[in-house]
Amino acid sequence: MLLRVSFAFLLAGLLVGCLEQESDEPSAADLKAIKAHILKTVPAIKYKVDANLEGKVTYLGIDVDKTTIKPGQQFTLTHYWKVSQNLEGWRLFVHLNGEGGKGYVNADHKPVVGRYPVRNWKAGEIIRDIHKVTLPRNWSSSKVTVFVGLWQGKKRLKPSKNSDGQNRVRAVTLPVTGAAKPAPRKQLVAIKTKKAVKIDGKLDDEIWAKAASSGAFVNTMNGSKSPVHTDVKVAWDDKFVYFGFNAQDEDIWSSLKKRDDKLYTQEVVEIFIDANGDGKDYVELQVNPNGAIFDSYLPRYRANQNDWNSKMKAAVKVDGTVNKRDDKDKGWTVEIAVPWADVKGRGKYAMAFPPKVGSRWRVNFFRLDAPKDKRPIAAGWSPPLVGDFHKLDRFGDLVFGDEAGKAPARKTAGKTGAMISPALQGRLAGKRSVSAMRSVRRPAKPVVKGEKK
């Protein structure tokens, strides 16, 4: 299941798994160019590996033209392979990973400058594959590790050594200089309400005017400004936690109407909740413009249990016409009420419900938009910065405030923080968005959401 890619990843153009590659047969010109990259003997290799992949091929090692990598500057990787068997159906992948999930680049490509796909490699050949890569300017890890391997569908060839446990060969780890400082964790304060929210999708309850906004969602891959506006507000009472989404949209559509349909493949808003903040089990909740619900409990990363059904309530209000693709719509709003018992799914851990003022959850929010004849868009509150909405370490904090929308700030080094008002919360969110936008580099769809189920 980990290799199955969702709409979000496809939207952004970068997959968390492996990108499909062209499989055209080499032309005469290709064969002539390829010849220079098929070696007669194994050369001196700077970083030797010698990892055998199930007897089919051996990854000999890698040369890198720089000893220290700098974000935003291109560098060259030269891989060496020795072929033992026919590799029909297999493809190459190259991943660049930072430490602790801080950074990811999918550097999949067709080998030998795009001219020699793996399926055409022949037994006995020693192949030199040169390609150029660049770390994004907002790369925050002090190191980068190059992983390589071969994949086919959901399978990867198992390496005899240097494996990371996911059938990827660890080729080399290099220091990174000038890495960006990670942005502070985002925070949103939920306001307490005396009056239950009417779930009709209209966002006209008095509490929504008082609640702090998340601020505009941003590009999930790099934190830049999204071309479509989305924001969310959160409220709570003794029975429910409420979410109110506002999504501007000129082309509102979805063909999915059943519960637990693959809503993440079309237009949708999404909520991820890690209520106890342990980075392990969490729930995923989605609503589309038709009001259809997707709810899933995950006991661990991406281990969706879609047979779990919450008792969440949801309603949508559309300003336009759903599924009329030739007119111009304005947007849609969503109201969601989640009972306290459902926020931890099937989790067995103890939690006090309703929470106390000042309690914190780890959460994230996303929106997928697929306008007609345009590139799909993935936007999120706390951008994962990779093609994966399930990036738990990138979730922000949802803090439960009082009826004035205030919550005590976290204590720091013996100091007790002051209360945070909705107005200040909005200003802080805006500053964080600007900061995130300044630290951007390139995109990656919305790999988009790159969601895998």
3-state SS of 182-205?
A: CCCCCEEEEEECCCCCCCCCCCCC
Residues 257 and 162 in one domain: no
pLDDT of 22: 42
Residues 247 and 164 in one domain: no
Distance from C-alpha of 169 to C-alpha of 374, rounded to nearest angstrom:
37
**DSSP result, 243-312:** EEEEEE-SS------STTS-GGGSSEEEEEEETT--SS-EEEEEE-TT--EEEEEESSTT--BTT-----
Spatial contact of 67 and 174, defined as CB atoms under 8 Å apart: yes
Residues 269 and 342 in one domain: yes
- 180 belongs to a structural domain: no
What's the CATH number where 106 sits? 2.60.40.770
- 8 belongs to a structural domain: no
Task: Find the largest Cα–Cα distance for the chain.
Answer: 78
Quickly count: other Cβ atoms within 10 Å of residue 282's Cβ: 29
- 116 belongs to a structural domain: yes
The structure tokens listed for 29 are: 């010109």
**Intervals of the chain under pLDDT 50:** 1-23, 412-453
- 333 belongs to a structural domain: yes
Dihedral pair phi/psi, residue 361, rounded to 5°: -115, 160
Residues 166 and 191 in one domain: no
Q: Which of 125, 153, 175 delimits the end of a domain?
A: 175
Of 75, 71, 147, 139, nearest to 103 by C-alpha is 139
Q: Which of 148, 175, 202 delimits the end of a domain?
A: 175
The structure tokens listed for 286 are: 């989605």
Spatial contact of 275 and 347, defined as CB atoms under 8 Å apart: yes
pLDDT of 26: 65
Q: Which of 118, 141, 175 delimits the end of a domain?
A: 175
- 15 belongs to a structural domain: no
- 3 belongs to a structural domain: no
Distance from C-alpha of 190 to C-alpha of 359, rounded to nearest angstrom:
10
Residue 426: strand, helix, or coil: helix
Distance from C-alpha of 63 to C-alpha of 48, rounded to nearest angstrom:
9
Cβ contacts of residue 414 below 8 Å, gap of 6+? none
Of 247, 252, 302, nearest to 270 by C-alpha is 247
pTM assigned to the model? 0.66
- 27 belongs to a structural domain: no
Spell out a b/e string for 144-179, using b for 16 or more CB atoms within 10 Å of the CB, else e.
Answer: bbbbbbbbeeeebbebeebbeeebbbbbbebebeeb
pLDDT of 138: 82
Please tell me the total count of domains within the chain: 2
The number of residues in the chain equals 453
> Which amino acid type is present at position 193?
T
Residues 240 and 382 in one domain: yes
Reported as a single tens digit per residue, the pLDDT across 119-157 is 999 999 999 999 999 998 888 899 999 999 999 988 999
Residues 110 and 219 in one domain: no
Residues 356 and 282 in one domain: yes
Residues 151 and 214 in one domain: no
Residues 135 and 232 in one domain: no
What letter would DSSP give residue 212? P
Instruction: Tell me the residue range of the domain where 274 lies.
Output: 187-438
What's the CATH number where 393 sits? 2.60.40.1190
Of 103, 98, 106, nearest to 14 by C-alpha is 106
The structure tokens listed for 146 are: 């190059």
Spatial contact of 387 and 269, defined as CB atoms under 8 Å apart: no
Residues 139 and 248 in one domain: no
pLDDT of 411: 63
- 221 belongs to a structural domain: yes
Reported as a single tens digit per residue, the pLDDT across 399-430 is 999 999 999 877 644 333 334 444 444 444 44
The CA-CA-CA angle for residues 441, 444, 296, to 5°, reads 125
Residues 146 and 258 in one domain: no
Of 114, 62, 54, nearest to 87 by C-alpha is 54
Distance from C-alpha of 375 to C-alpha of 373, rounded to nearest angstrom:
7
pLDDT of 414: 38
Distance from C-alpha of 254 to C-alpha of 318, rounded to nearest angstrom:
12
Distance from C-alpha of 160 to C-alpha of 157, rounded to nearest angstrom:
10
Cβ contacts of residue 423 below 8 Å, gap of 6+? none
Q: Is the peptide bond before 376 cis (omega within 30 degrees of 0)?
A: no
Spatial contact of 133 and 154, defined as CB atoms under 8 Å apart: no
Residues 128 and 214 in one domain: no
